[in-house]
Structure 1
Amino acid sequence: MSGPVVPVASRPAAHPVLAAGPVDFTEAWLVNRRLSEHTRAAYRRDIAGWLGWCAGADLDPLTATFLHVNAYARALEASVDARTGRPLTPATVARKLSALSSWYDFLGKLRAVDANPVSGADRPKVNRDHSATVGLTPEEVDALLAAADADTGPTAARNRAAVALLADLGLRVGELVSLDLADLGAERGHRSVRFTGKGGKPRRRALTPGTAWAVDAYLAERAAAAGVGVAELTGPLLVTATGGRLDRHAVFRMVRRLARAAGIPAWAKLSPHSLRHAFATTARAEGVPLEDVQDAMGHADPRTTRRYDRDRHNLDRDPAYVIWSARARRAPG
């Protein structure tokens, strides 16, 4: 690996150093933040990638400048995603640099670095109006749910519950697989589920009648197989055949298998996130206010929610029609 064409400085002796160096800093940074385990793992990989690049460039990460970060960013843009076989997208590179910036902010608070080198770096421009996730039409979501209903086998009831939660609540796959039985509850006549969302924020959502039925049917079948009552079940909500927590990779495979059975043309490119996009698009098309969809999806920025709405540029929704109709109603007979 070739390093950046910039001088490598030595770390000032006055800076404190943790026993295990930057890796120790990373764990301290992660512990200091309220994050889901999935997010922690992703951030840990992002920082490990930077530390690996620094090692290859014979660079002390505590002395890196924005020139080094720029060189790293260009290396990322030229690298290939092992999962897709395609170059990393600008959004992926931007996310990795965002994690790195947060890491350096933490080091700055510890006075381990003088400044955040990412703050002056040239980050890739991300089109907030575009998402690479393959979406689903409402009819395709219906077909996917029907395929789950028609599925057979020992995991069919669990899969129906999982797809219902993804489709009706628009959950992130990490949120789905992190659900525990203790997260289910009831509030003011609503069946509900509580979980930790992105950024470590506590969230709660209502279960629709259809989703509640699918969850109840799955738990009843699971309890019967274990020879106990539903109330005696503990641990993860969605489990494997051996009782372990269902992981995100199994959910990806399940969604694609059911999509293929449903005859959805793009089944091989779908992901659980496709159902999250469909949730946002359908909710907005049915007239749910943007603020309510934003809250339901746990987005801090409404622009993120708008990006999930695949139908936002449909001319049927142009406000010019509403204004014209109102003017026509005001016109004298």
Structure 2
Amino acid sequence: MPPLDAQRVHLELYARHLEDVRGNCAATVHGKLSTLCGFYRIAQADGYVVKDPTVFLRMPKVTYDETRALGLDRFQLGKLLQVASASSPSDGALFALMGLLGLRVTEACNVQIQDFQDEVRGHRVLRLTGKGNKDATMPLPEPVLRALLTAAGDRTTSPVVLTKSGKTQNRRGAYGRCKILVKRAGLPAGTHPHTMRHAAITAALDAEAPLRDAQIFARHSDPRITTRYDRGRQNLDRHAAHLVSAYIAGGTGPA
């Protein structure tokens, strides 16, 4: 059947096929259906279909485990940064960008030496274009600036993070370096570059940065995304279950 001839019932059958036959998880099904929703919205706007068949399409509910966003704690992150700095100047710069500035791995790999030469109101800053082609200006704390200058050396242009052969580091190579250095630091094997971004955002909240400031640091467009890190950070410590148990225990005195 041509996609433009599909009706809602056909898309419902497709969704149930993904769930029941292929065994896809709710997040996978939701992602595939969301793509279809975007396709048919554009098709309707451009006049290819009269009615959008996804308007009342049943979308699976996707739950989010907030504790998975915590990343490394401050001591683990500090250990990894030390190991990276001792490994090579490029590794030190790459991991400082991810672990102290919260940059995504591709953003960190794309940083050019000329991107951190400016000063704004007395602060040395890094200018970058991040996710969604959004420009950002971030102040450079002394440890990050020192790592960047060490990696740059005498160079005045070109990417700051290079491979051992002198080529531009990329996402795949960064994952490989992370795997090696994580093992060297004795950290959990599942740690990857984005774990460091998680750790940086969580560290900002642990350091009592206001949620709005943490959102700006993380460059999240929606504050609810940053809130996930806050809830995941403290929801087990301040969960009402502790209060209930203590309250009931206080009322169970001698008969």
Q: TM-score range by the shorter chain?
A: 0.7 to 0.9
Question: Which one of the candidate residues 86, 89, 92 is aligned to 1:150?
Answer: 86
Amino acid at match of 1:202: D
Report how far residue 200 of structure 1 moved: 2.5
Deviation at 1:293, TM superposition (A): 0.8
Residue in structure 2 matched with residue 65 of structure 1 by the alignment: 7
Contact 1:129–1:307 at 8 Å: present in 2 too? Answer: no
1:101/1:282 Cα in 2 relative to 1: closer, same or farther (>3 Å)? same
Please tell me the residue identity of whatever aligns with 1:178: N
- Give CA deviations for 1:78-118 in whole Å, capped at 9, x if unaligned: 698xxxxxx75533443343344333323332222333334
Q: Distance in 1 between matches of 2:49 and 2:236?
A: 49
Give the deviation of 1:68 after TM superposition. 3.6
Measured at CA, do residues 75 and 242 of structure 1 come closer, stay the same or move farther in structure 2, by a change above 3 Å?
A: farther
Sequence identity percentage: 32
Q: Distance in 2 between the 1:298 and 1:166 partners?
A: 13
Question: Which structure is higher in RCO with an 8 Å CA cutoff and minimum separation 6?
Answer: 2
Task: Pick from 97, 105, 119 the counterpart of residue 186 of structure 1.
Answer: 119
3-state SS in 2 of match to 1:203: strand
Q: How many angstroms apart in 1 are the aligned matches of 2:92 and 2:152?
A: 11
Q: Which residue, out of 229, 237, 244, partners 1:315? A: 237
Q: Quick one: distance in 2 between partners of 1:92 and 1:194?
A: 35
The residue number in structure 1 matching 2:136 is: 203
Q: Give 1:311 deviation, angstroms.
A: 1.2
Which runs of 5 or more residues in structure 1 are unaligned? 1-58, 81-86, 224-229, 319-333
Query: Partners of 1:239 and 1:141 in 2: how far apart?
Result: 22
**Any unmatched runs of 5+ in structure 2?**
241-255
RMSD after superposition: 2.8
Partner Cα distance (1:297, 1:205) in 2 = 11
C-alpha displacement of 1:132 = 4.6
Three-state SS of the structure 2 residue aligned to 1:169 is coil
1:129 Cα shift?
Answer: 4.9
CA distance in 1, matches of 2:47, 2:239: 52
CA deviation after TM superposition for structure 1 residue 302, in Å: 1.7
Measure, in 1, the Cα distance between the counterparts of 2:200 and 2:122: 23
Distance 1:60 1:144, change over 3 A: same
Match among 176, 183, 205 for residue 108 of structure 2: 176
CA contact (8 A) 2:102 2:196 kept: yes
Match of 2:58 among 91, 102, 122: 122
Q: Could you say if the C-alpha distance between residues 171 and 69 of structure 1 is closer, same or farther in structure 2, counting changes exceeding 3 Å?
A: farther
Taking the aligned partners of 1:77 and 1:252, their CA distance within structure 2 comes to: 32
